[in-house]
Structure 1
Amino acid sequence: MPNTPLPPAPEYPLPASFFQQDARSLAVDLLGKVIRRQMDGRWLSARIIETEAYLIAEKGSHASLGYTDARRALFMEGGTIYMYYARGGDSMNCSAEGAGNGVLIKSAYPVVDSISDAKSLELMQQLNPNRDGTQRTQQRLCAGQTLLCRALGIKVPDWNAKPFCPNQLFIADDAYRPSTVVQAARLGIPSGRDEALPYRFVDADFAAYCTRNPRGRTRQPDRDYRLLSLQQAKLNAVSGDTLAG
């Protein structure tokens, strides 16, 4: 394959300083930001709508199990990509301030804009079809950590312990801000591993398209989740308290 020049970065990536903050506040700040991924001469894009924060001091985190080569990214400078396999699929995280702290990018929503057009969306759907081979809808294309990575062609061997790259893979700020944030407990944390910590954050306007809607029919406010302004979510994020239930 000829060495064709990569398309130039369409906008400025988030600076390294952005990631140098508490993982919980970083998880809130990442909501609404756009992942840009260059593939086959196109920019594939998805807006982050769900995140989870992990701290080395709590038992739900990978880092709490100790340093390994596979987990080294969590102990590197904030903004380093940490990838691992979740249920056989690729999963993307980034390190935050402090060794062992990071944020899981849990789900996103495809973006069609002046940078990523309808053809980019089609490529994402080709990369991540339904199990029966049919086309996955835009709403469910990135509705989970492994679906997100598959739709953007992001793989563990290529990106673990790597920095974001302006011409290949980065996160940008296109000035969108969530109007309301849902704060809830993280998903899939085993019992006894600090499963009650409310370190999951969801853009309320996109809650129906994330991994699992935190405001589902059986869920109750203040027991199962909090509904907060963006500013309140940042303040609440670092409190470390649990929900009433």
Structure 2
Amino acid sequence: MSATNSFHRAPNPLPRAFFRRDSRELAVHLLGKVIRHYHQGHWLSARIIETEAYLREEKGSHASLGLTHSRRALFMEAGTLYMYYARGGDSLNISAAGEGDGVLIKSGYPVVDDISGPDSLALMQELNPAANGQVRPTTRLCNGQTLLCRSLHLKVPVWNAQIPDPEQLLIDDDGYRPHQIIQATRLGIPLGRDEHLPYRFVDAAYAPWCTRNPLGRTRQEGRDYQLIDDVSEWKAC
């Protein structure tokens, strides 16, 4: 079935209970899930390949700055969307179990399947062209939090503080599971704001296509990152 047919619902949206867990554990278990947004008659879809967890108590968190109208989603029920502008672009987060805690969806990888066909991918590329106006390569279409939102046409005024809607925007479990996850420190955290915390998680199979490959030539396991092999048993320390 193509995305242009009458099908207007993904098969297995995550239940609200899925999000009621520690933000670090949520960040791990969101890897591999598929964000789907219905736009212009198509399901635009991207697999989540990189996440960052945030706790209200640590200085890198937006919630540590206090409750405001724009940040209210982080203090709402787990599974609420929190969107804000990062360097002028839209950015997608999801609240977790702890009040003020959440997960940043850092990168995705376009999905073409029986729900989101080639026409969906073409629309994503139209929405997010390269800087020179040419078609952006598939591998670089969603490799960053603002690129992801641009490709999926997710906007702060529409979705901040909203609950995912199975008719318009959802996170889908299509059965894929990462075999190995990379755990490292988050990107872009200023000095003195708990930049040392290892709350960034990447699906190892997609490491070359996330915001910044954590397995770069100068990176060393045990010093710069850790590998998580048994995802089902992983717990936040």
Give matches, 1:222-233, under 5 Å. Answer: 222-231=222-231
**Gap runs ≥5 in structure 1:** 1-5, 240-245
Aligned-partner SS, 1:189 = coil
Find the counterpart in structure 2 of residue 243 from structure 1.
none
Alignment of 1:127-206 (within 5 A): 127-206=127-206
CA distance in 2, matches of 1:172, 1:56: 27
| 1:31-180 → structure 2 map (5 Å cutoff) | 31-180=31-180
TM-score (norm 1): 0.93
TM-score (norm 2): 0.96
Q: Secondary structure at the match of 2:17?
A: helix
Assess if the C-alpha contact under 8 Å between 1:12 and 1:166 holds in 2: no
Q: State how far apart, in whole Å, the 2-side matches of 1:233 and 1:216 are.
A: 27
> Following the alignment from structure 2 to structure 1, what is the Cα–Cα distance between the partners of residues 117 and 62?
37
4+ residue segments displaced more than 3 Å = none
Partner deviation per Cα, 1:111-150 (whole Å, 9 max, x = no partner) = 0000000110000000000111110000000000000000
Matched residue count: 233
Whichever residue aligns with residue 112 of structure 1, its letter is V
Conservation of the 8 A alpha-carbon contact between 1:28 and 1:233: no
Give the superposition deviation at 1:218: 1.2
CA distance, structure 2, for counterparts of residue 74 and residue 165 of structure 1: 18
SS at match of 1:92: strand
- Give yes or no for the alignment of 1:21 onto 2:18: no
Counterpart secondary structure, 2:191: coil
Query: Percent identity over the alignment?
Result: 64
Native 8 Å contact 2:36 2:170 kept in 1: yes
Cα RMSD, aligned residues only: 1.3
Moved more, 72-81 or 7-16: 7-16
Deviation at 1:7, TM superposition (A): 4.8
Q: CA deviation at 1:227?
A: 1.4
